Structure 1
Amino acid sequence: MSNLIDMCNCCNGCSSRRQGYTLKLSFPKKLLVATSVLVILAMVVMPSEARALQHKIRHERRQHDAVALTKDARIRQEELRRRPHRRPALLPQTKDPAERLRNLEAERFKNATRTIQKKLKNTRRYFNEERKVLNETREYRDGMPAWLPTINFVAIHFHTYKKQGATLSERKFAYVIPKLHKSLKEFLEIFDRLYKVEVDFADDPFSNYNRTRHELIWNTTRRLYSTIAEIEENMAAVNVPEQNFTPSKSLQALEMKVDAPQCLKNDYIAFRAYGNLLNNWFSEFKCPHGKKVTTKNAKCAAYEAKLIEKKNKRNKNTER
């Protein structure tokens, strides 16, 4: 053994290996290299996999937290989706066939009223926007000519709907909608007449105004026709008859040939009255008498206060 050790003193390996001898206690180089590579890979890969696993856990936790945070938002979206104006509300179930038919009939009148109300709201909005293009002057802010129709909103607002075998929705529709229909047709007649008015001694500035007023009257008349047709369609759907309409004789007081100042005055009076009519009708639908919205909503409270004031004045005048 000592001879073998003495012989292994060169850099190129032991002479015993060159002579075919092997050392039983030596470690193979290939196995050593393979083991080293595995150790290095394990040291590199295991931290990466651990970081990936931690990242996955954090990602799943964030998704869970996001779902938890948006739970209220999803509930609100679900409530909005189920609102009556997007999905018809289910009628309460009842075993009585007569009561079920009564509820269905009431729902028909409510739907017809909502459709008319929406159409009236759009008509009012478009008119208020287009009316701004005209130059309104303070010179013509007063006046109540004979040709201007009047409607008693005090009587409409404080009307008592006595039970007569029909639902409240049916009784209210049958009382209010024909009056709305008549008032709009009256102003349709006025705007038809104003459109045909001839003006004497029109200068260049008034000619520009005249073109603008014709455009406004044309658009207003077109939307009035559409709104009236919507009302008539819904009245027919719920079997409420239309009232016979005859043009007012007082409309003849609206002259067809005037000078420029009188034309401006007539226009302003008609546009102001029509705007007030749409506002009052819209408030009448939105602010029914005896409902909580009339006291909680500031505009509704102001509208009812104005009607109460008019009602009290009329009662005083009647007492005298």
Structure 2
Amino acid sequence: MDVFLTGFPKKLLVAVSVVILIAMCVTPVDARSVEHRRRHQRRPDSMAEITKDDTLKRPKNSNTEQYRNATRKIKHKLRNTKRFFDQDRKRLNETREYRDGMPGWLPAVNFVDIHFHDYRTPRKNGKTISERKFTYLMPKLYKTLKEYEVLFKRLDNVQLESWDHSFTNYIIVRQNLLSNTLAKLFSTIAEIQENMVAVKMQIPPFDESRMKLETLKTKVDATQCLKNDYIAFRGYGNLLNNWYSEFRCPLNKKADKKCAAFHAKMKEKLGNKRFKNNRNVSLTS
């Protein structure tokens, strides 16, 4: 070794040794840094833009969106129908002659069973909740509105046997209310049919003969006309309120005050229904 280094400056020899040692320590680190940069350079820009939320996001179900949009349109139509009816109904002169009651000719709707219907079981043919809810509710909504359309047409054709002069103003307001109600009702039914066809759902048949209209006379006096009108208009107003609340207030929506009141009312009716059923069972046993 001394032979090779003979005549080589000692200071230069020391400097070269230091450089070699530094290079041996630094080179692996630099190599790793360079390799790290190369991997990032090879990574496509699109990969860098992907976030955690994007990787977890599921593709939208087009069928679900279609049923949701159809339901939303009908809910808005019900809201407008209800609003116009409430406005027209205020103009009707309701007197103390009216009598509460539930005659056989008034359409009845079991909103307790509708409200507490379980859409999660059974799961049939892979249908979504939106689709099952739509296919369950729409035939019932369609049927009840068609029943009131028939009822109001019958009331519109009532012939009064006798009335006094003061009843004339009521007849005018009554006729306007019936005309406006039938027009809005026809439009709402058409909206339901259109959205059912849009999701390839068959329009359910409607049998008018199943309604119990025999006791609803078409020739009545002024007092009976007032009573029939009040019962029919009150029933229709309650129907619109309940249907709109049913669409607006699913069971899992409890923070809204109006929805909480609707849930409480349905729960109370459910309790009364169970009590009556248990009582009837005990009486027959």
Q: TM-score range by the shorter chain?
A: 0.7 to 0.9
Relative contact order: is structure 1 or structure 2 higher (C-alpha 8 Å, sep ≥ 6)?
2
Is 1:297 aligned to residue 259 of structure 2?
Answer: no
Partner of 2:23: none
- The aligned amino acid for 2:182 is T
Partner of 2:21: none
1:94 deviates by 8.6
Partners of 1:166 and 1:93 in 2: CA distance? 25
- The aligned amino acid for 1:112 is A
Is 1:200 aligned to residue 161 of structure 2?
Answer: yes
SS at match of 1:296: coil
SS at match of 1:139: coil
Percent identity of the aligned residues?
53
SS at match of 2:160: strand
Partner of 1:263: 225
Partner of 2:91: 133
- The aligned amino acid for 1:312 is G
Partners of 1:147 and 1:230 in 2: CA distance? 26
What's the RMSD between the two structures over aligned residues?
1.8
Partners of 1:172 and 1:155 in 2: CA distance? 13
Partner of 2:145: 184
Where does structure 1 differ by over 3 angstroms across 4 or more consecutive aligned residues? 92-96
Partners of 2:176 and 2:110 in 1: CA distance? 30
1:311 deviates by 0.7
Partner of 2:106: 148
Q: Structure 2: state its 5+ residue gaps.
A: 1-52, 280-285
1:217 to 178, 191, 204: 178
Q: CA 1:173 to 1:255, structure 2 compared with 1: closer, same or farther past 3 Å?
A: same
Instruction: Find the structure with the greater CA-based Rg.
Output: 1
Is 1:240 aligned to residue 201 of structure 2?
Answer: yes
- The aligned amino acid for 1:217 is L
8 Å contact from structure 2 (residues 147, 211) kept in 1: no
Q: Structure 1: state its 5+ residue gaps.
A: 1-91
Q: CA 1:225 to 1:94, structure 2 compared with 1: closer, same or farther past 3 Å?
A: farther
Q: Which moved more, 1:135-144 or 1:195-204?
A: 135-144
Aligned residues: 223
1:132 deviates by 0.7
8 Å contact from structure 2 (residues 97, 223) kept in 1: no
- The aligned amino acid for 2:89 is R
TM-score w.r.t. structure 2 length?
0.75
1:241 deviates by 1.2
1:76-130 Cα shifts (integer Å, max 9, x gaps):
xxxxxxxxxxxxxxxx98999xx85x71100000000000011110000000001
Is 1:115 aligned to residue 73 of structure 2?
Answer: yes
Partners of 2:195 and 2:211 in 1: CA distance? 29
1:267 deviates by 0.3
1:240 deviates by 1.4
- The aligned amino acid for 1:187 is Y
1:251 deviates by 1.4
Is 1:288 aligned to residue 250 of structure 2?
Answer: yes
After the TM superposition, which residues 1-320 of structure 1 pair with which residues of structure 2 at under 5 Å, given as runs? 100=59, 103-161=61-119, 162=121, 163-164=123-124, 165-247=126-208, 248-289=210-251, 291=252, 293=253, 295-320=254-279
1:228-260 Cα shifts (integer Å, max 9, x gaps):
000000000001112110113411221000000
TM-score w.r.t. structure 1 length?
0.67
Partner of 1:18: none
